[in-house]
Amino acid sequence: MDTLLLEEMTWREIDEAGKNGYDSVLIFAASIEQHGPALPEMTDTVLGYAEAVDLARRLGHTLVAPVIRPGLSAHHMGFPGSLTLRPEVFRGVVEDYVAAYVRHGFRTIILSSSHGGNFGALEEIARQQGEVYPQVCIVTGSSLDELDELLMEMDRMEGQPSGTCGGHACDWETSMMMMLDESYVRRDCLQKGLVGALTGELLERFFRDGVRSVSEIGVIGDPTGASAEKGRRYFARWQDAQEQTIREKIKAWSLDRGRD
């Protein structure tokens, strides 16, 4: 098949794919929100498509749903252009996606996120939807904790100060955007943001008073050394982790249900 994106396919192609064993669907939730002075608002959405399509190829017999956005971005609203959904609206959209794909015959539904603010809500929604559709394998991808661990590992891997890959418009996101298309990145606008552990009181402030209260430019990390080359290393490592987590969760569900 030329594409794994459901929105690019015709209904006949989707029907045919189902008959050929494509019974899994990846639903990524992203955001439309500020990403510092150098990256566009659509950054998490672009990365969500790239991650989902690559994961679908790795997992096999998997198609990709239209990436959900906006997401939950209340803490980014201090900057022009950011959008955020009310939590109940976000939940409703995800539930309607799940209902549709269950109806269309998908047997495995993977809910994942390319935006930090969605992870917690998705975990909860996946758990509840699993109760609504016990016959369908509904799992989440990697957790936010898993991502945070990996970002620290990536800084060590590259031999750069801890917090360079801070998680928002940082070296990690900027490098992956460069890998996908250099023209996404305003190179002359790359600026160092908050570098250091976003924990304790600072993390509390981040969510309570918004990103702007910890970084005036909206950057958590330091993207000034970003490159497409690093982006390829980051992407491969993150995708390996996501693939492994998803495979483990699907296996655990199957064992639990006695399904092969």
Residues in the site for Zn ion, rule: CB under 5 A? Answer: 43-44
CB of 177 to Zn ion, least distance (A): 9
Please give the residue whose beta carbon sits closest to Zn ion in the complex: 44
Helices (H), 43-143: 43-59, 87-103, 119-132
CB of 129 to Zn ion, least distance (A): 25
180 contact partners, CB below 8 Å, separation of at least 6: 46, 47, 50, 231
CB of 18 to Zn ion, least distance (A): 33
If the CB atoms of residues 24 and 114 are measured against Zn ion, the closer one turns out to be 114
Cis peptide before 40 (omega within 30 of 0): no
Nearest CA to 229 among 170, 183, 188, 176? 176
If the CB atoms of residues 125 and 170 are measured against Zn ion, the closer one turns out to be 170
CB of 175 to Zn ion, least distance (A): 12
Task: At 152, list the tokens.
Answer: 């620290």
Question: In angstroms, how far is the first alpha carbon of the chain from the final one?
Answer: 26
If the CB atoms of residues 35 and 249 are measured against Zn ion, the closer one turns out to be 35
Neighbour-count burial of 246, counting CB atoms closer than 10 A to its CB (0-12 exposed, 13-18 middle, 19+ buried): buried
